[in-house]
């Protein structure tokens, strides 16, 4: 993933009489592409969260991540059903498991990785970034060293080696990927806080008697929050790509649990591959669109806003 590390964002000029958050919110949803991408992302989340309801009640397919060796003993391999046959909307694989149900359950892995990474990146990356940027000194040196190590580590290869020790399930793969991918955000936040900490408003807060904790979380955090959120979007994309890549190679989430990477790697018929490929495509694209839409909404010089202003001028 391309992680474009931008220079410290100075707070953009807001429109008259409106808070910055409201302006960004309005700018973000004024673009139709952003709106569609956001809605699609939320839909995918909802479907994956309610996978039991969607598969069990709406599609009539029960949870079918069955133990593979046992199943092979009971049934000899048979030709898979093509799409539409026997109530299977997207067909089945070679041991008669519904492809649509597996794709929907596979989304759980991807979204668990995505959301857990987001939480970990915000908490650890943001927290350590603010701490190192504000405190400096030996704390900065120590945690900066840790960041240097994590930046230069070929994480994908390390994950393959880790898969020998840990048998990856949904939760622990999400945790490990999240714990390895907070560095970019932490560095960005650190750079911004370093440029902010000697400003007048921080000095004023200190004169007013605010403690270090209060300055960090009440005065500094809101200033770096939005650029942090943008960065989190790109980090989440990278994490999802990594999980899919690992599963494609067979080192990710293990076989009985369906994931999109597994499906791409192990499918033997074409209708089995397509849903996973399309699901990955739609998820990654909408995620990237949301992240870059947020970036544009935050950036006062972006083209979208200029176009919107021109439209307003024309209308006036």
Q: Which residues bind other proteins (CB under 8 A)?
A: 1-5, 134-137, 148-149, 151-158, 160-162, 164-165, 184, 198, 206, 212, 237-238, 241-242, 244-245, 248-249, 251, 264, 270, 273-274, 277, 280-281, 284-285, 287-289
Q: Which of 185, 268, 192 has its CA nearest to residue 224?
A: 192
Q: Collect all residues with Cβ–Cβ distance below 8 Å to 17 and sequence separation of at least 6.
A: none
Q: Facing residues of 98 across strands?
A: 92
The alpha carbon of residue 74 and the mean position of all alpha carbons in its chain are separated, in whole angstroms, by 40
Indicate the Cα dihedral angle 146, 152, 155, 156, nearest 10°: 180
CA distances to 64, 235, 264 from 160, in Å:
27, 19, 18
For other proteins, the closer of residues 153 and 204 by Cβ is 153
Burial (CB < 10 A; 0-12, 13-18, 19+), residue 75, is exposed
Residue 115: helix, strand or coil by DSSP? helix
Kindly give the interhelix angle for 221-249 and 127-135, rounded to the nearest 10 degrees: 130
Q: Is the dihedral of CA 244, 246, 252, 256 positive or negative?
A: positive
For other proteins, the closer of residues 85 and 141 by Cβ is 141
For other proteins, the closer of residues 114 and 237 by Cβ is 237
Give the nearest distance from C-beta 303 to other proteins in angstroms.
9
Give the nearest distance from C-beta 113 to other proteins in angstroms.
15
For other proteins, the closer of residues 136 and 300 by Cβ is 136
Give the nearest distance from C-beta 49 to other proteins in angstroms.
23
For other proteins, the closer of residues 3 and 65 by Cβ is 3
Give the nearest distance from C-beta 107 to other proteins in angstroms.
16
For other proteins, the closer of residues 7 and 76 by Cβ is 7
Give the nearest distance from C-beta 153 to other proteins in angstroms.
6
Q: Facing residues of 92 across strands?
A: 98
Structure tokens at 279: 């699901």
For tokens 């995620």, the residue is 287
For other proteins, the closer of residues 51 and 289 by Cβ is 289
Q: Which of 264, 297, 303 has its CA nearest to residue 99?
A: 264
Give the nearest distance from C-beta 56 to other proteins in angstroms.
30
Give the nearest distance from C-beta 2 to other proteins in angstroms.
5
Kindly give the interhelix angle for 20-30 and 303-315, rounded to the nearest 10 degrees: 80
């Amino acid at each position: 993933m391309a992680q474009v590390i931008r220079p410290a964002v100075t707070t953009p000029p807001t429109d008259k009489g409106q808070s910055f958050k409201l302006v960004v919110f309005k700018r973000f949803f004024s673009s139709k592409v952003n709106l569609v991408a956001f809605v699609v992302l939320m839909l995918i989340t909802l479907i994956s969260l309610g996978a039991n309801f969607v598969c069990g009640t709406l599609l009539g397919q029960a949870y079918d991540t069955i133990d593979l060796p046992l199943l092979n003993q009971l049934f000899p391999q048979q030709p898979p059903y093509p799409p539409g046959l026997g109530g299977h909307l997207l067909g089945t694989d070679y041991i008669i498991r519904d492809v649509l149900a597996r794709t929907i359950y596979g989304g759980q892995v991807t979204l668990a990785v995505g959301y857990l990474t987001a939480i970990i990146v915000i908490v650890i990356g943001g927290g350590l970034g603010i701490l190192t940027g504000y405190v400096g000194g030996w704390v900065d040196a120590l945690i900066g060293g840790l960041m240097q190590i994590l930046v230069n580590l070929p994480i994908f290869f390390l994950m393959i080696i880790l898969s020998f020790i840990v048998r990856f399930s949904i939760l622990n793969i999400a945790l490990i990927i999240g714990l390895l991918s907070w560095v970019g955000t932490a560095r960005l936040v650190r750079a911004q806080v370093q440029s902010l900490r000697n400003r007048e408003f921080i000095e004023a807060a200190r004169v007013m008697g605010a403690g270090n904790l209060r300055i960090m979380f009440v005065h500094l955090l809101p200033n770096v929050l939005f650029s942090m959120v943008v960065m989190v979007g790109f980090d989440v994309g990278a994490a999802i790509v990594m999980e899919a890549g690992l599963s494609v190679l067979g080192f990710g989430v293990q076989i009985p649990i369906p994931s999109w990477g597994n499906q791409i790697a192990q499918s033997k018929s074409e209708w089995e591959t397509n849903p996973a490929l399309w699901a990955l495509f739609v998820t990654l694209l909408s995620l990237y669109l949301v992240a870059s839409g947020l970036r544009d909404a935050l950036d006062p010089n972006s083209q979208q806003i200029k176009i919107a202003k021109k439209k307003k001028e024309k209308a006036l």
